């Protein structure tokens, strides 16, 4: 056993993948939206009992290690190490010695360890600071919330800098590491931190590893910018991380909807008030990548931004980038003087607002058409074209027509005129990405040739049957599937207890993809009776070739005086012939 096999033996693939996307049972398989491309129909398929996945849209495939390698954009070795650390696996020392080290992974691991130490130090410091704790208590933060989000405090002054550096030195880090992570910076004479005298909100990536920090001023007369976030680096990108996702993940998958807010405090406040499926962006606009990540976990996204003009503009920007994502977006409306946290703290209830939430298209049209009659002709044309471009992207034709009708009434523009503009916009529409049509890409077993079915059934059943008995038929297949089966026969000869996982691991990437696609496309449970039917149909189709090949083998066996082989070949031929006669009589 090597490190890869150790990991796969100890980590169920469905458990790991469900940390990143929502999987739903589909017979003996599980399905969800692919994390590697945008799609409207979930075509990402996982086989828990064979520990493999395949996407019928973009054709990505692999095992649990390959999944993490693709998701994290790292090598297989790096992915293996990430998994052992993330899930606290303890591989035998001899397996670790066989695994080469990688500089990039070591840097990433070191960076995450440093962020975790800083989080621990800030949290402990907060618990000792009455002024910081009083501020959080006054804002309504509970002790459970402070612990759940590992909220901390970074005091000011050289004493705190020395305290932090001493704390990290116990784990082998030095002040230079803090400077490289932009936690400390070099002043004219001494080191300082831009996080000083701020409440610290540690940021984790989507699997819960500490990777950055957000700091908020809280002292009276502190005129610095209210928030300060860690600078981006190779291990932290704001546009791909959502605050609180690792904490909210289970609640999201259970409720099948997400509430998206703009900041840490809004996210935390909503969780305290029972909305545990809430996440936040990191002081930036919601990006298409954010939406793609969220679509892996739920079908509906409620956008809850501040009611002021800045919040409304952010929603409008979001409208223009949400159409390639497989989820429904709705807007929860707040008055212009309110933000989510203050609304809840003043006794407001989100339940009726969620029930009354508008679809993001309706919100866009209502907002864009306000004061339409007062606009100049140029502004009116720009507004109409912008609305038309949004309506064009609505996938359902009936809904498009209904929204177009509503727009015509709202703007007082003839429906036929808008419909004509919509047709023009459609003509300019980009070609559809074939990866979006997952169902069209998925090869249905009943459309396969008998050769496809024969090959796939042998792959599915090889642990239960002796496939060497069917060499006479395998020889008639085309390469490379013939070579795959011949390789399988050879490996099973050397190891009669060979498992699918062991065989799959020995293949190159192209062969792995071919086998995975076949296994996950074929009938979910191939019974031996089904295989016999497939074998008979295959043999009938290729009967002349089977006879010719068998005669040639009999001749060779006779020349070698191998009477036992001659007898075996004749018996196999007779068995097949009897099956054909039986089948013919019943048809």
pLDDT, one tens digit per residue, over 285-337 is: 788 888 888 888 888 999 998 877 777 778 777 776 666 666 788 889 888 77
In this model, does residue 99 exceed pLDDT 60? no
The percent of residues above 70 in pLDDT, for the chain, comes to: 90
pLDDT higher than threshold 50 for residue 585:
no
Candidate from 308-312, 339-343, 347-351, 436-440 with smallest mean pLDDT? 436-440
- Give the per-residue pLDDT at 393: 73
Comparing 152-156, 314-318, 357-361, 532-536, the range with the smallest average pLDDT is 314-318
Which residues touch 536 (CB under 8 Å, ≥6 apart)? 579, 580, 583
pLDDT value, residue 147? 96
Whether the predicted pLDDT of 34 surpasses 50: yes
Tokens of 98: 């066989």
Task: Report which of residues 551 and 125 the model is more confident about.
Answer: 125
Beta bridge partners of 316: none
- Sign of the four-CA dihedral 217, 222, 225, 230: negative
When the candidates are 3.40.1360.10, 3.90.226.10, 3.30.1490.20, 3.40.30.10, the CATH number that belongs to 240-366 is 3.40.1360.10
Confidence bin at 177 (pLDDT 50/70/90)? very high
The three-state secondary structure class of 193 is: coil
Of the two residues 297 and 428, the one the predictor is more confident about is: 297
Domain 104-236: CATH superfamily, name plus number: DNA primase, catalytic core, N-terminal domain (3.90.980.10)
The predicted model gives 171-187 an average pLDDT of 93
Run of H or E residues at 214: strand 210-217
Mean pLDDT value of segment 400-404: 81
pLDDT more than 90, % of the chain:
27
| pLDDT at residue 162, rounded to an integer | 95
Q: Which pLDDT does position 411 carry in this prediction?
A: 82
Query: Quick one: pLDDT at residue 90?
Result: 82
Ranking 32-36, 95-99, 300-304, 543-547 by mean pLDDT, the lowest is 95-99
**Considering the chain, what is the average pLDDT of its residues?**
83
Torsion over CA: 62, 65, 66, 70 (sign): positive
Question: Strand 300-303 relative to strand 257-261: parallel, antiparallel, unpaired?
Answer: parallel
Res 212: pLDDT:
95
> Are 137 and 129 a contacting pair, CB within 8 Å?
no
Assign 142 a pLDDT band (cuts: 50, 70, 90): very high
Q: What is the mean pLDDT of residues 99-110?
A: 66
Domain edges within the chain: 3-101, 104-236, 240-366, 369-434, 441-586
At 394 the pLDDT is 73
Q: Cβ distance 519 to 456 under 8 Å?
A: yes
The yes-or-no verdict on residue 460 having pLDDT over 50 is yes
pLDDT at 149: 96
What are the phi and psi torsion angles at 224 (to 5°)? Answer: -70, 165
What pLDDT score does 440 carry? 43
Task: Quote the pLDDT of residue 437.
Answer: 44
Of 297, 147, 228, give the one whose Cα is nearest residue 279: 297
Q: Which helix (H) or strand (E) holds 520?
A: helix 509-521
In which region does residue 562 sit, left (phi positive, over 0), alpha (psi from -120 to 50) or beta (all else)? beta
- Which carries the bigger pLDDT value, residue 348 or residue 367? 348
pLDDT at 389 over 90: no
Report, as an integer, the average pLDDT of 248-253: 90
Alpha carbon 214 to chain centroid, angstroms: 25
The pLDDT of residue 13 is above 90? yes
Inter-axis angle of helices 309-319 and 360-368, nearest 10? 120
- Average pLDDT on 182-190 reads 89
Confidence of residue 372 (pLDDT cuts 50, 70, 90): confident
> What whole-number distance in Å separates Cα of residue 511 and Cα of residue 567?
36
- pLDDT at site 104: 57
Question: Can you give the pLDDT at residue 502?
Answer: 84
The pLDDT of residue 324 is 60
Q: How many helices (H) and strands (E) does the chain have?
A: 29, 16
Average pLDDT on 18-47 reads 85
User: Over the range 268-280, which residues count as b (16 or more CB within 10 Å of their CB) and which as e?
Assistant: bbbbbbebbbbbb
More confident position, 265 or 324: 265
Is there a contact between 153 and 125 (Cβ–Cβ < 8 Å)? Answer: yes
Nearest-CA neighbor of 230 among 269, 197, 192, 200?
200
Which whole number is the average pLDDT over 529-543?
81
- What is the dotted CATH code of the domain comprising 3-101? 3.90.580.10
The pLDDT score that the predictor gives to residue 439 is 46
413 pLDDT more than 70: yes
Under the banding of pLDDT at 50, 70 and 90, the label for residue 179 is very high
Looking at the predicted structure, is the pLDDT value of residue 189 above 90? no
Burial of 584 (0-12, 13-18, 19+ CB in 10 A): exposed
Per-residue model confidence (pLDDT) at position 100: 52
Contact between 468 and 538 under an 8 Å Cβ cutoff? The reply is no
Is the model's pLDDT at 102 over the cut of 80?
no
Question: What is residue 43's predicted lDDT score, i.e. its pLDDT?
Answer: 85
């Amino acid at each position: 056993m090597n490190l890869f096999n150790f990991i796969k033996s100890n980590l169920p693939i469905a458990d790991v993948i469900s940390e990143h996307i929502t999987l739903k049972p589909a017979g003996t398989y599980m399905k969800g939206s692919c994390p590697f491309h945008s799609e409207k129909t979930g075509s990402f398929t996982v086989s828990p009992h064979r520990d493999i996945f395949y996407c019928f849209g973009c054709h990505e495939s692999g095992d649990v290690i390959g999944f993490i390698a693709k998701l994290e954009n790292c090598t297989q070795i790096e992915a293996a190490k990430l998994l052992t650390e993330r899930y606290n696996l303890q591989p035998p020392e001899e397996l670790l010695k066989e695994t080469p080290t990688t500089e990039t992974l070591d840097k990433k691991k070191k960076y995450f360890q440093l962020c975790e130490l800083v989080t621990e130090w800030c949290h402990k410091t907060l618990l000792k600071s009455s002024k910081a704790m009083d501020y959080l208590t006054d804002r309504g933060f509970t002790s459970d919330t402070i612990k759940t989000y590992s909220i901390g405090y970074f005091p000011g002054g050289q004493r705190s800098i020395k305290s932090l550096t001493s704390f990290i030195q116990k784990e082998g880090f030095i002040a230079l590491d803090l400077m490289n992570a932009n936690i400390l910076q070099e002043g004219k004479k001494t080191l300082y931190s831009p996080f000083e005298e701020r409440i610290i909100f540690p940021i984790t990536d989507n699997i819960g590893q500490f990777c950055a920090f957000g700091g908020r001023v809280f002292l009276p007369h502190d005129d610095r910018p209210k928030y300060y976030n860690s600078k981006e680096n190779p291990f932290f990108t704001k546009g791909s991380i959502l605050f609180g996702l690792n904490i909210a993940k289970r609640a999201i998958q259970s409720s099948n909807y997400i509430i998206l807010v703009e900041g840490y405090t809004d996210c935390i406040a909503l969780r305290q008030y029972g909305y545990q499926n809430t996440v936040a962006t990191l002081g930036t606009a919601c990006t298409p990548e954010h939406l793609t990540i969220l679509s892996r976990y739920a079908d509906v996204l409620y956008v809850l931004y501040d009611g002021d003009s800045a919040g409304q503009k952010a929603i409008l920007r979001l409208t223009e980038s949400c159409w390639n994502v497989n989820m429904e977006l709705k807007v929860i409306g707040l008055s212009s003087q309110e933000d989510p946290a203050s609304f809840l703290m003043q006794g407001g209830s989100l339940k009726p607002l969620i029930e009354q939430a508008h679809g993001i298209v309706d919100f866009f049209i209502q907002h864009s058409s306000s004061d339409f009659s007062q606009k100049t002709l140029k502004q009116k044309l720009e507004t109409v074209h912008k609305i038309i471009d949004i309506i064009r992207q609505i996938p359902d034709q009936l809904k498009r027509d209904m929204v177009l009708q509503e727009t015509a009434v709202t703007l007082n523009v003839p429906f036929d005129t808008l419909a004509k503009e919509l047709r023009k916009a459609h003509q300019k529409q980009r070609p559809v990405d074939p990866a979006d049509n997952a169902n069209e890409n998925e090869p249905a077993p009943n459309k396969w040739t008998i050769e496809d079915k024969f090959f796939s059934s042998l792959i599915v059943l090889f642990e239960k049957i002796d496939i060497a008995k069917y060499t006479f038929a395998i020889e008639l297949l085309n390469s490379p599937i013939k070579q795959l089966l011949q390789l399988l026969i050879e490996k099973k000869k050397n190891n009669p207890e060979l498992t699918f996982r062991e065989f799959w691991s020995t293949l190159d990437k192209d062969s792995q993809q071919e086998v995975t696609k076949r296994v996950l496309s074929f009938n979910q449970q191939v019974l031996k009776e089904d295989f016999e039917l497939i074998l008979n149909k295959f043999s009938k189709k290729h009967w002349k070739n089977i006879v010719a090949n068998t005669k040639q083998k009999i001749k060779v066996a006779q020349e070698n005086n191998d009477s036992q082989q001659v007898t075996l070949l004749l018996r196999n031929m007779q068995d097949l012939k009897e099956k054909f006669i039986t089948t013919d009589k019943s048809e």
